[in-house]
A = this chain, B = another copy of it.
Amino acid sequence: MTTRLKNFLRYSKPERLIVLGYSLIILLGFLLLCLPICHKQPVAALDNLFIATSALSTTGLATVSVADNYNFLGELVILLLIQLGGIGYMSIGSFIILGRKKRLSETGVRLIQFDFSLPDKYPVLHFVKDVIIFSIVIEVLGALGLYFIFLENGVDNALWSAIFHSISAFCTAGFSLFNNSFEGYYDNFYLNAVISALSFAGAVGFIVFSDYYEYLLKPGKKITYTSKIILRFTLIVFVVAGMILLVSDEGLHGYPTEDKILLAFFQSMTALTTVGFNSYPIGNLLPSSLFLLTIVMFFGASPSGTGGGLKSTTITALYAQMMATLKGKREVTFLHRIIPNHRVRLAASNFFFYSTVLTLGILALLLTEKPDAFSLLFEATSALGTVGISTGITGELSVLGKLIIVALMFFGRIGPLSLGVAIMANKEEEKEEIVEEDLAI
């Protein structure tokens, strides 16, 4: 490595290095997917770019059918992109470096801490090892479970399909080799259970896993505050959204009760974990259900996980801040703990920036696209939240529309705020005397 590159890596903001890293991987993936040896039939360059970005951002939106257009090699490239995007290329790289008994650079540690939004003083190296081992164990177990289910249902290439869907679920990517996702399995309890387990495992994030793993090894250890909040939030939103879907969507009323329950909660799960598989045609849901899923997709998964969205802890911090204001309290508290001011502020900035990016994305789509406004709103939220469910309009988008979705998915993977920091950083501020002044709100 040249001294110049070393200095660049050492002194650049982590945000900028992360953006650069993911951009390079998307470029590489895009170029690979453009090779005719990856195709069953020719795929346009824009669609390859779309699929590469969708895979690395673990979104799962697709302008063309993956199964119909890419051969095994193409699917393998897509799966590698999903794995790199899901667990984070930095941790995979670090794991390899650590495995070769080399020391991890300071920059590497900083990037991982940043990429996983780890709390202060978190043991990063330990964490990375746990992350990789957990991921492999869970993905192997998931693939085993899916293998038997697919075998029983006579799926071609059951092993490859099992591996692909297991990784796609754990990384909350939601790419499927079936053209109608899991609609054919809507009443298969085992498939519902395995996919949901994998998706939740990815979505609650590695902090929770690491926590419970340590807890099992050393019974004296306590579950962290972050984990408690993540689990509560995930459980509550999953159950409430599922119940509302179950009760309110008339389209489900024709199904037997067990299937209705599976359908409602699978769709709640898919939006919340941001995995983005579906077992019911999303376009057939009522507008109220679509809007409910839009809210859940906006919330999204949890920090340090493979999912997207605004994140459970951000919503919780905002809720706690609102309650503090309502009660006229100075300290922002939740679950009998004070949330540090700088975290609350980060949550508020995140919320405002995320909403702004989403709003501008929707407006841009409305200006360029023909499909109905509500479907576009749904599509944009799904892209920014890296969810990947769609009412079915992805393929109909114009060139501009596809590029807008590509941008939203990329924003969604990096986290809009981080992307903003990457762009804003290094701008020198003029030094000046500055005073406080009251403002009417």
Contacts and interface: CB of A to CB of B under 8 A. Distances in A.
Interface residues of A, number: 79
A409 to B, nearest CB: 21
A417 B434 CA distance: 30
B319 A352 contact: yes
B325 A120 contact: no
B373 A318 contact: no
Nearest to A295: B359
Contacts of A288: 363, 366-367
A329 B439 contact: no
Given A327-B424, A349-B322, A421-B328, A313 B366 contact: no
A438 B347 contact: no
Given A287-B373, A318-B352, A326-B417, A225 B437 contact: yes
A118 interface: yes
Given A295-B363, A417-B326, A434-B338, A441 B350 contact: yes
Contacts of A352: 318-319, 321-322, 348, 351
Chain B CB within 10 Å, residue with most, of A118, A435, A436: A436
A362 interface: yes
Contacts of A421: 325-326, 328
Contacts of A287: 366, 372-373
Contact of A439 (B225, B372, B435, B441): B225
A345 B321 contact: yes
Report how many copies the assembly holds.
Answer: 2
A329 to B, nearest CB: 7
A346 interface: yes
A374 B440 CA distance: 33
A207 interface: yes
A226 interface: yes
Interface string A46-58: 0000000000000
A441 B346 contact: yes
Interface string A374-408: 10010000000000000000000000000000000
A362 to B, nearest CB: 6
A303 to B, nearest CB: 4
Contacts of A333: 434
Contacts of A317: 439, 441
Contacts of A353: 322, 326
Interface stretch (A36-44, A100-108, A143-151, A425-433): A425-433
Given A353-B322, A363-B295, A434-B337, A441 B303 contact: yes
A308 to B, nearest CB: 14
Contacts of A188: none
Interface in A56-79: none
Interface string A273-316: 00000000000001110111001000000011000000101101
A218 interface: no
A246 B234 CA distance: 44
Contacts of A339: 436-437, 439
Given A326-B421, A367-B248, A425-B328, A120 B373 contact: no
A440 B337 contact: no
A420 interface: yes
Contacts of A331: 434
In the A-B complex, the 7 residue pairs with the smallest Cβ-Cβ separation, listed nearest first, are: A288-B366, A325-B349, A287-B373, A348-B348, A338-B436, A337-B437, A119-B438
18 contacts: A287-B373, A288-B367, A290-B373, A291-B366, A291-B373, A303-B440, A303-B441, A304-B440, A313-B439, A316-B439, A321-B352, A327-B424, A336-B432, A337-B434, A337-B435, A343-B438, A344-B345, A373-B374
